[in-house]
Structure 1
Amino acid sequence: MDKTPLQECPEKTALQKHCEFFDQDKDGTIMPWETYKGFRDLGFGFITSTLSAFVINLFLSYPTQDSKIPNPLLPIYIKNVHRGKHTSDSDTYNTDGTINPKKFEQFQKLIRECTNGKDVITTLSEALKLSELFRHGFDPVGGTASKGEWVFLWLANDYKLDAKDIQASYDGTLFEIIAKRRADEKKK
């Protein structure tokens, strides 16, 4: 098994930072149980977290590994996470996992387009409409993945998304913010 600790990566890409939240033990791989724990920390229930962990690790494990033989434990290797980029995404991440600033600048405009002029997405239909703006023709797998990502992000962020939230998601900081908020809520 090829395990390269994320700390050894000289410069992490934005996509690696986005995924790093789910690497609970910071060893450079995200195992299904770590994905599950990450979803629980974001406030999702047992069933949603279990299904998400299975589906996400199932689809991202093989493209991110260096071996041609699939690993039955379904690890996601963060150093290669750029290989798991799917179609019908926002194209904000370049193929190497860095951020494309031109694409990112379009989010404020797209949010207004989805919300009839508001600066924040506050309904499920608006979140789904945002995902539809990125669909590449007939693309059931990529389109479904895109919808899932936007809906999960909207749900985890207390049913709202603005350009600042989206930027924090892409640069890897939003998940930590949400998890801390959820932990603080549990303490009360």
Structure 2
Amino acid sequence: MPKQNIKHALYAPLAPPTQERPYRLDTDEKIVRPYVARASVAPSVEQPQGTPSFAQKYPDYSVMQQHCIYWDRDQDGVIWPYDTWVGFRDLGFNFIFSFLAVIVIHAALSLPSRLAVSWIPDPCFRIYLASIHKDKHGSDSGIFDTEGRFIPSKFEDMWAKYTSVPNGSASPAENLKNTMTYRQLWNFMRGNRVAMDPFGWIASFLEWSAAFLLLQKDGLLHKEDVRMLLDGSMFFKVKSERESKGWNQGFGLGGDGFIGEKRSLPFSI
């Protein structure tokens, strides 16, 4: 068998993005078969078991369902617009942001999840958790597969492609960072765009921008925060901390009166 040229296997000289956005090559040293999608746990290199307590609490739900279960407050499998409103308010987002989020999310995501239940559109614009995988859109990260499972290698490659500094070596692992600036996040969103998909472009922009607004600290989005956001446990963490010591990440568009990490108002809005 002839030896494979690993350099040419990883990137093609006439296709610059293949060198600019390298894959992570050591993921399987920490995660068993990282290319196999996980149904109910979201592992990473740093957290090979995902969020154990959360996954054990919701073992019968897919990771995409776990991502959304925070919004299903009474756990009846249906997310009402009011549930979304309360969910955003509990996360600290202000009135205007929460109101717009309800309109955009339910207008866009209700029908696809409804079609798995009935051909008749839901007059209340409810979202159905059992068929939430139908709300997967184009131009996304690919971290969730079409059935709502979590693909660890895709999550790791998100950081390898957009935070590492390609140096021509076989592995970019030594250059990896576990934080991402908004510029890097923007490059990530741009890099995942596919042709003729304006809905996917807009949805991706809104989702990741909202994530940055909620989670950034010192202008950086942290990898573990994103992983917990994707498996849904982060929403419960933010809500819990707001009810106790307060949540001091994110920007001042939230309802806790923070600008950056400093409280600028003595009350919530």
Q: Percent identity?
A: 36
The answer for the alignment partner of 1:101 in structure 2 is 152
Deviations 1:56-105 (A, max 9, x none): 01111111121111111011000000001111110111111011222122
1:17 equivalent in alignment to 2:17: no
Q: CA distance change for structure 1 residues 101 and 43 in 2, over 3 Å: closer, same or farther? A: same
Alpha-carbon distance in 1 for matches of 2:226, 2:161: 12
Runs of 5+ in structure 1 lacking a partner? 1-8
Q: CA deviation at 1:111?
A: 4.2
Deviations 1:26-56 (A, max 9, x none): 1111111111111111221111101111110
Task: Give 1:150's aligned amino acid.
Answer: W
Counterparts of 1:85-96 in structure 2 under 5 Å?
85-96=136-147
Say which SS state the counterpart of residue 106 (structure 1) adopts.
helix
The answer for the alignment partner of 1:50 in structure 2 is 99
Alpha-carbon distance in 2 for matches of 1:62, 1:37: 21
Match of 2:233 among 161, 173, 177: 173
Say which SS state the counterpart of residue 71 (structure 2) adopts.
coil
From the two aligned structures, give the one with the greater helix fraction. Answer: 1
Alpha-carbon distance in 2 for matches of 1:107, 1:126: 10
| TM value normalised by structure 2 | 0.61
Runs of 5+ in structure 2 lacking a partner? 1-57, 166-174, 247-255, 257-266
Larger Rg: 2
Conservation of the 8 A alpha-carbon contact between 2:163 and 2:184 = no
| TM value normalised by structure 1 | 0.85
Match of 2:110 among 40, 61, 68: 61
Counterparts of 1:25-174 in structure 2 under 5 Å?
25-65=74-114, 66-113=117-164, 118-122=177-181, 124-159=182-217, 160-174=220-234
Q: Which sits farther off after the overlay, 79-88 or 96-105?
A: 96-105
Alpha-carbon distance in 2 for matches of 1:78, 1:175: 16
Q: CA deviation at 1:113?
A: 4.8
How many residue pairs get aligned? The number is 178
Q: Which sits farther off after the overlay, 42-51 or 156-165?
A: 156-165
Conservation of the 8 A alpha-carbon contact between 1:111 and 1:119 = no
Conservation of the 8 A alpha-carbon contact between 2:162 and 2:187 = no
Conservation of the 8 A alpha-carbon contact between 1:111 and 1:120 = no
Conservation of the 8 A alpha-carbon contact between 2:158 and 2:188 = no
